Amino acid sequence: MNLRPPLLEVSSITKTFGGVTALSEVSFAIEPGEIVAIIGENGAGKSTLAKVMSGVHSPDSGFVTVAGSRCEFRNSAEAAEYGISRIPQELELCDSMTVEENLLLGREPLKSMGRLDFPECLKMTRSALEMVDLKIDPHQLVGDLGHGQRQLIAIARALHTSARMLILDEPTATLSPLETQVLLHRLIEMKKSGSAIVMITHRLAEVEEIADRVIVLRDGENVGSLEGKEIQRDAMIRCMVGRDLSPIEPEVSEFGDPRLIVRELMTQDHPEAVSLQVRSGERVAIAGLVGSGRSELLEAIFGLRPRSGHVSVDQCDLSRAGVKESVRAGLALIPEERSSQGLALQRSVSENASLPGLFREAGRFGTLDRHAGAAVAQKIVKELDVRPPRTDIPASDLSGGNQQKIVIGKWLDLNPAVVLLDEPTRGVDVGAREEIHKRIRDLSFSGKSVLFASSEMEEVLSLSHRIIVLSEGKMMGTLVSAETTEEEIMALATGGEIHE
Amino acid sequence: MNKIKGIFAVLLAVMIITAFISPAFLTSYNIENLLRRSALFGILGIGVSFVIMTGGIDLSLGSLVCLVGCLTPWLIIDVGIPAPWVLSGLLLLSLGLGLLHGVLVTKLRLQPFLVTLCGLFIYRGVTRGILSDQTVGFGTSGTVLKSLGNGRIPVTDTFGLPIPLIILVLVALGAGFLLRRTLWGRHLIAIGSNETAARHCGIEVDRVKMGAYAICALLTGIAGLLIVLDTGTAQPSNFGNFYELYAIAAAVLGGCSLRGGEGTVIGVLIGATLVQVLRNAIVLIDGIPEASEFAVIGAVIMIAVITDEVMRRRSGKNKLA
Amino acid sequence: MNKIKGIFAVLLAVMIITAFISPAFLTSYNIENLLRRSALFGILGIGVSFVIMTGGIDLSLGSLVCLVGCLTPWLIIDVGIPAPWVLSGLLLLSLGLGLLHGVLVTKLRLQPFLVTLCGLFIYRGVTRGILSDQTVGFGTSGTVLKSLGNGRIPVTDTFGLPIPLIILVLVALGAGFLLRRTLWGRHLIAIGSNETAARHCGIEVDRVKMGAYAICALLTGIAGLLIVLDTGTAQPSNFGNFYELYAIAAAVLGGCSLRGGEGTVIGVLIGATLVQVLRNAIVLIDGIPEASEFAVIGAVIMIAVITDEVMRRRSGKNKLA
Amino acid sequence: TVKTTTTTTSSSAETRVAFVTNGVADFWVLAGKGVEDAATDLNVSASFHMPPDGLADQKRIIEDLLVKGVSGIAVSPIDPKNQTPFLDKVSARTHLITHDSDAPESARLCFVGVDNYEAGVLCGELVKEALPSGGKIAIFVGRMEQDNARLRRQGLLDTILGQERGVDAYEDASAVIKGNGFEIVGTLTDQFDMAKGKANVEDILSKHSDIAGCVGLFAYNPPLILEALEQSGRISEVKVIGFDEDERTLQGIIDGTVHGTVVQNPYEYGARSVAILKALAGGDKGVIPPGGIVNVPARIIRRAEAEAFREDMRKKLGK
Ligand SMILES: Nc1ncnc2c1ncn2[C@@H]1O[C@H](COP(=O)(O)OP(=O)(O)OP(=O)(O)O)[C@@H](O)[C@H]1O
Ligand SMILES: Nc1ncnc2c1ncn2[C@@H]1O[C@H](COP(=O)(O)OP(=O)(O)OP(=O)(O)O)[C@@H](O)[C@H]1O
Ligand SMILES: [Mg+2]
Ligand SMILES: [Mg+2]
């Protein structure tokens, strides 16, 4: 071994928030040309570690060393000066600005006197977009893009900084296999050119594919690291959860009458008519690439977007209904972007969790009890194992995965007849993912209908009975899950492009 | 509660200092006056805080006070319509205008600041136009009616509860109940905290918001009535000028964030009282030049806000990001 | 650009209608007056739009106009300090006050609305206190200096370019350059758009924001100077009253969103011009009672805003969520 | 500098009197000077208040003064007719007199000042003198709803139009009024916004190329008229008639650009009010003249009197 200090080293970092210990005595080091994956259950402290490394949080004790010299970052700008760049778990983009402006934010090319160099800007933008294979007008407003495209922009921005040290916090949670492959490919290239990469993810297949080393966090502690051949799904799960996951019970599927009927549904952005039905007890997946219109379809069914065509739930015609009527008719939508669509982050867990179902507790004139909603919130927190199990803290104090549990819990508690889910297990750890999958299955066993969109092929294949594949808002076909493969889905999803 | 400790401390401090310097401060006549004035501005503050909690703002408030305040004596005395009709008509009008603000903000998705800024111009302009800029008032008549604004319920020989205070208490209790103990109130706060999320939860965002604007305008109308019943006369060009700023200041001092989703009724009352106590103190204490009145008010508000912030930081609950 | 089509259309409509009804509208004397007035309010509008683009607001603007406007003649005529010293001193003072706002907003993390509301009270109070509420003015002296505010560069026999217009053009070009062509401008807009994102991208949020408040106050100071040089006299208790509302209205009409992150200089200029043309039209056109002036202004602004919104919806780029 | 706002010249703490104006203006600053001088001479403690925000503000200040305990208040009611009940309440608690504008129906003990209508008549005479053959004139004023504005304008109109509508009349401010060779093209208000006040003059100049005279009813209006006229180069064509004693107005009279101005005597309002209140506090009701009006006449200042008048005023202000 040489005596050169590692590129970055964190030494016995401890970080607490109020009473909660997010990290305790975590140490690890990373060398140039190495890809380290950090895995762990929700709330294990992964994002906190990423934030400490990139200067967003300062640790209570312990320190960060870059190339041998000890650093105390006061903000992320200072970390950036050391070549450390981070893609946050929740997107941080400027919606009222263009793709180009977002991509170059904080590192705009300059001429003299602080003037921007526009031709150079455009050149850099093009090359950044190329890195993630995103074909998009650099002058489009970011606020007009779908979630997946926005995620790709965040990735492109970080990749293009050619940082010495790149930290990615769940970058692939909403990417489909195609975009994920592009990303992983880029990461390997960067690694070869000597960058160090830290990747946080719950998708263990990706870890197997690219990680040189895996660091496992549990309750804020570094409980082990795996290298080379040890990096295997089961080993990782065991290390993370501390036990094996119970195998899924085999199911008997019997479908009843259609509960959700959608006919000739058209929306503003994708004027392609979509018709589908989901029967009682059935689980249907919607698959497609980033921007294929999955979220848009779900939102349109739910009544969030202006639409034409027919939607009904249990014979109840919702064609002209708004969200409120949809909810009362037994429809629920678990949205994709939890920070903007799912939660009011500064409000308490209790307020957030009880919101959609609060009307059930209201008296004749809409009056509420002093403790209205508290019981519901307690129940959700307990059933979904939210950590820490408190309902009085603001939702922003929960880790990403735990926030997701609140979003799911608050809707499932309403016991809806038809559940629409958009990326249901985004950012959720393997254990909780199984738990959520189990609940979704239970729903269908009790005769409910489930329609979900997911970018994760494993989830699409294992959780659904049928798969509807979308491409550019058009239904490309329907596949039976038991008889299809990932390749077949992808072929359909990219169908539009291949024939071009 | 934590949010308003600082303001409350400053209010207490101002009261103690004034009482110490001027013996007149604690006379029952003065306390009665203070209670009446704070009540009037408290009603305005509570009104606007509903709108602020949704993340909106209402700038039209001062002009609406002008509209209602000037039309009341005009319709009753000059036109000769019976008082009950006038009062209920004008309150309905206020409610309607509030609803209109709500419709423009929600259905046409215009910025609340712009909509109510237009209201600020239009209501004052219309009032001035109708009255051709002439002062109106009750003259020596209408004493029964006027007791709504300046009447009192005697408690001791020298002290009586001003009627506006009683109205304020009712309004405050109602507002508190509405905000904390009804579905509507919870939805209002949810909208202010994250409108998209609220919409995703099936909350009828537009309806609730319209309600908030309507309540704000209605309370403004009530305050406008009480104020003109108290003063007895009103000038279209300056009646209610800047009241929107006093009301918003009271609401914000009382812990409402202009980004929405936060605020307590009790805080707004403390905020409204602080401004009135200050103005009273400036007259009572010799040696503060009246011309500098505004400077003193501004400075004390600033001190209150900073105290508040420092206290909150001390309590360590303050976050960085 | 798309954002201001509606406003521009309304401006054109108002101009055409006025020109049609009143032959005086297109006389060179009137156009000159209009240009000068629009220039003065344009400078204020551009100033405040910097702050609005960061997602903040500046309510102290009218009072700062008062402070600068009243102190200028007082210091020059009554105290007898040489004009160059006074001008540069007061502009420096404005800049300093702007920086102070910036520091309070960023370092103490106070709400901009509150900070500048205190400014609104304090600056007016201080001015009134210093001058004991007396009117100040240049009398018949200071004509050279005053030509900065009311001077003109003759172009034809009857028409000349008002000097304030030239200053405005310089300010507008500077502002446009700063916003669109420099790093600082991009960062400013990014902060208004998403402050956390900007912070995490390594932008020095506090510095940029302080700069925005400083520029706003400096431009306000310049406008205050020019206005008093134009009117020749100023009264502390009402000089500049409500100017913050006119300036903010111009900015918002011109496409600035109060949530920050949006806005164009040209839009602000159109917004400022619209308000001035309206006020001019009301006097020129017979039959509009002057008392209803505000009502007309409010109504036309409302029409402009709605036209704008409708046009934007037509263009189909409108989103729901 | 002059400390005019809360002047407390204390020596004998017994007698405290207060002088409340109807708003903030220079005019009142002179009155404040009178209050101050009288207080020193008569050895009483007098405070001086200018409510900035109209009626509600005036009411608030008077209430607070009662709380503070004063033995007499002199007030210029903003809306005498409607404030009568309130003034009655006040006079039940202290010695109340009115100045500048009267509330004859109320229980006030006496009134110090001149009728604004009379002042308007004087102004009308100046206009007729300046424009013997009539012509188009425009009137500029801060606010029309103030009683002094209405009365001044009515006195002016009645005089130049040769009519006798009297003190209770009100003629629509937006109407064009013709008669007697004169045409009043408009009465423009500015709500005390200086920039608007000047813009009003400019707009009238663009609208009427043949305007013959401009009348400014409030102290700051004549200077704004002069400013606009000088800039447009029509200073020699248009006659300017003013009110009150702004420095610029007086200079204009001396320079010949202003035909003349009507001045009241605010200094005397202040001084006499304090004297009367002191006497009343001492139980001397003899200071109240029969009829209850203490006349402090307004007068006309033309070129001949301007210099001397200005000297006198400066002396009073201690400049
Ligand atoms: N700002 C904060 N305030 C208070 N507590 C916090 C804050 N941020 C994180 N925590 C707590 O710290 C712990 C670790 O959170 P962190 O976000 O690092 O988890 P994570 O491993 O990234 O989880 P996930 O997989 O769900 O994203 C959690 O218990 C969380 O509740
Ligand atoms: N609010 C919006 N305004 C305008 N266009 C939108 C909006 N949201 C989505 N789109 C567009 O609609 C298309 C479909 O987006 P949608 O979010 O439904 O895709 P998706 O399949 O869910 O993919 P992902 O969520 O991974 O981006 C995209 O091209 C996107 O640009
Ligand atoms: Mg995380
Ligand atoms: Mg999606």
**Ligand 2 atom index nearest CA of A455:** 26
The CATH architecture of the domain made up of A8-241 is 3-Layer(aba) Sandwich (3.40)
Handedness of CA A95, A99, A105, A109 (dihedral sign): negative
Considering only CA atoms, which residue is closest to atom 22 of ligand 1? A47
Nearest-angstrom CA–CA distance, B217 and B207: 15
Atom of ligand 2 nearest to the CA of A473: 14
Mean pLDDT, residues D291-318: 88
**pLDDT > 90: percent of chain C:** 56
A45 lines ligand 1 (CB under 6 A): yes
Which chain B residues are Cβ-neighbours of A370 within 8 angstroms? 180-181
Judge whether residue C36 has pLDDT over 70: yes
Q: Comparing C-alpha atoms, which of D234, D264, D14, D247 is closest to residue D119?
A: D264
- For A275, the enclosing helix (H) or strand (E) is strand A274-279
Pairing of strands A8-17, A61-66: antiparallel
Nearest-ligand number for the alpha carbon of A38: 1
Q: Which stretches of chain D sit within 8 Å of chain B by CB? A: 3, 5-6, 8, 47, 49-50, 52-56, 59-61, 63-69, 78-79, 81-86, 105, 143-147, 150, 170, 172-174, 189, 191
Tell me the range of A275-289, B207-221, C197-211 where mean pLDDT is highest. Answer: B207-221
Interchain CB distance below 8 Å, C186 and A105? yes
Residues 103..122 of C with a Cβ closer than 8 Å to B: which?
A: 108-111, 113-115, 117-122
- Interface with chain A: mutation pick from C1, C177, C186, C264, highest number of A CBs within 10 Å: C186
Interval C144-160 mean pLDDT: 83
- At D2 the pLDDT is 30
What pLDDT score was predicted for residue A73?
A: 85
Which ligand lies nearest to the CA atom of residue A145 in the structure?
2
**Residue A294 CB less than 6 A away from ligand 2:** yes
Residue A29: which of A48, A49, A5, A47 has the closest Cα?
A: A5
CA of C165 to the centre of ligand 1 (A): 56
* A331 φ, ψ (degrees, to nearest 5): -105, 145
Say which residue the tokens 């537009």 belong to: B206
Check CB contact under 8 Å for A86 and C203: no
Secondary structure (3-state) at A36: strand
Residues (pLDDT < 50) of chain A are: 1, 496-500
How many Cα atoms within 13 Å fall on the side-chain side of residue B198? 25
C129 touches B at CB < 8 Å: yes
Q: Is pLDDT above 60 for C261?
A: yes
Chain D residue with CA closest to C19: the answer is D207
The residue with tokens 């001088």 is D37
HEC-encoded secondary structure of A158-192: HHHCCCCEEEEECCCCCCCHHHHHHHHHHHHHHHH
Q: Give the CA radius of gyration of chain B.
A: 20
Sequence-separated (6 or more) residues with CB below 8 Å from residue C70: C127, C130, C131, C136, C228, C234, C235, C236, C239
Edge-to-edge strand order for the sheet containing D182-189?
A: D177-179, D182-189, D135-141, D211-216, D239-243, D260-263, D299-301
Q: How confident is the model at residue D8 (pLDDT cuts 50, 70, 90)?
A: very low
Residue C301: its chain B contacts at CB < 8 A? Answer: 114, 117-118, 121
Rounded Cα–Cα distance for residues A433 and B98 (Å)? 48
Of the residues B31, B76, B235, B244, the best mutation for testing chain D's interface (the one with the most D CB atoms within 10 Å of its CB) is B235
pLDDT category of residue B315 using cuts at 50, 70 and 90: low
Q: What is the largest CA-CA distance in chain A?
A: 76
Residue A47 near ligand 1, beta carbon < 6 Å: yes
For chains D and A, having 3+ Cβ pairs within 8 Å is answered: no
Backbone angles phi, psi at A225, to 5 degrees: -140, 145
The Å distance, Cα A93 to ligand 4 centre, comes to 17
Whether C80 contacts chain A with CB within 8 A: no
Q: Is C284 on the interface with D (CB under 8 A)?
A: yes
A229 Cβ partners below 8 Å, 6+ apart?
Answer: none
Task: Please name the member of B183, B190, B202 whose beta carbon is closest to the beta carbon of A344.
Answer: B190
Residues 6+ apart with CB under 8 A from A25: A12, A13, A14, A62, A221, A222
C-alpha of residue A463 to centroid of ligand 1, in Å: 28
Touching, A vs C (3+ Cβ pairs under 8 A): yes
Residue C64 confidence (pLDDT) above 80:
yes
C9 touches chain B (CB under 8 A): no
**Residue with CA nearest ligand 2 atom 17:** A146
pLDDT of residue A499: 38
Which of residues D277 and B316 earns the better pLDDT score?
Answer: D277
Whether C257 contacts chain B with CB within 8 A: yes
Reported as a single tens digit per residue, the pLDDT across B142-160 is 677 888 887 888 888 888 8
C vs D: CB pairs below 8 A: 128
Residue tagged 């101009």 (tokens): C15
Question: Taking a C-beta distance cutoff of 8 angstroms, is the pair A451, A287 a contact?
Answer: no
Question: A368 vs B202: CB contact, 8 Å cut-off?
Answer: no
The pTM (predicted TM-score) of the whole model is 0.87
> Any idea which ligand is nearest the CA of A296?
2
Q: Which residues pair with D301 in a beta bridge?
A: D261
Q: What is the mean pLDDT of residues D279-302?
A: 89
pLDDT of residue B273: 94
Residue D245 and residue D271 in contact, taking contact as beta carbons nearer than 8 Å: no
List of chains touching D (3+ CB pairs within 8 A): B, C
User: How is residue B238 annotated by DSSP?
Assistant: T
A40 lines ligand 1 (CB under 6 A): yes
| Encoded tokens for D78 | 């903003």
Point out the least confidently predicted range of A365-369, B26-30, D3-7, D213-217.
D3-7
Q: Which of D54, D67, D189 shows the shortest C-beta gap to B30? A: D67
Alpha carbon nearest to ligand 2 atom 5, residue: A144
**Cβ A221 under 6 angstroms from ligand 1:** no
Distance CA C263, CA C253 (A): 10
Tell me, what's the pLDDT at A247? 66
The candidate with the shortest Cα–Cα distance to D153, out of D94, D213, D109, D215, is: D215
Per residue in C263-301, pLDDT tens?
899 999 999 999 899 988 988 888 788 778 889 989 998
C2 touches chain A (CB under 8 A): no
pLDDT band at B317 (very low <50, low <70, confident <90, very high): very low
Sign for the pseudo-dihedral over CA of A128, A132, A137, A141: negative
- Other C-beta atoms closer than 10 Å to the C-beta of D91 total 18
Give the pLDDT score at A498.
Answer: 40
Determine the distance in angstroms separating the CA of A64 from the nearest CA of chain B, rounded to an integer: 20
- State how far residue B37 is from chain C, nearest Cα, in angstroms: 20
CB D79 within 8 Å of CB D55:
yes
> Which CATH code fits A258-493?
3.40.50.300
The whole-angstrom distance between D185's CA and the closest CA on chain C is 10
Among the bound ligands, name the one nearest to the CA of residue A287.
2
Ligand 1 atom closest to residue A387's alpha carbon, by position in its atom list? 29
Look-up of token digits 């607070």:
D64
* A499 vs D267 pLDDT, higher one: D267
* Band of pLDDT at residue D207, cut at 50, 70 and 90: confident
Mean pLDDT within B293-320: 77
Q: How far is the CA of A299 from the centre of ligand 4 (A)?
A: 10
Q: What is the rounded CA–CA span in Å between residue D111 and residue D129?
A: 31
B47 touches chain A (CB under 8 A): no
Beta carbons of B114 and C293 less than 8 Å apart: no
Contact list in B for residue D105 (CB cut-off 8 A) is 140
Enumerate the domain spans of chain A: 8-241, 258-493
The CB of C317 under 6 Å from ligand 2? The reply is no
pLDDT at residue A371, as a whole number: 82
Asked if B197's CB is within 8 angstroms of A341's CB, the reply is yes
Q: Whose CA is nearest to atom 18 of ligand 2?
A: A293
- Chain C (174-203) residues lying within 8 Å, Cβ to Cβ, of chain A: 181-184, 186-187, 189-190, 192-194, 196-203
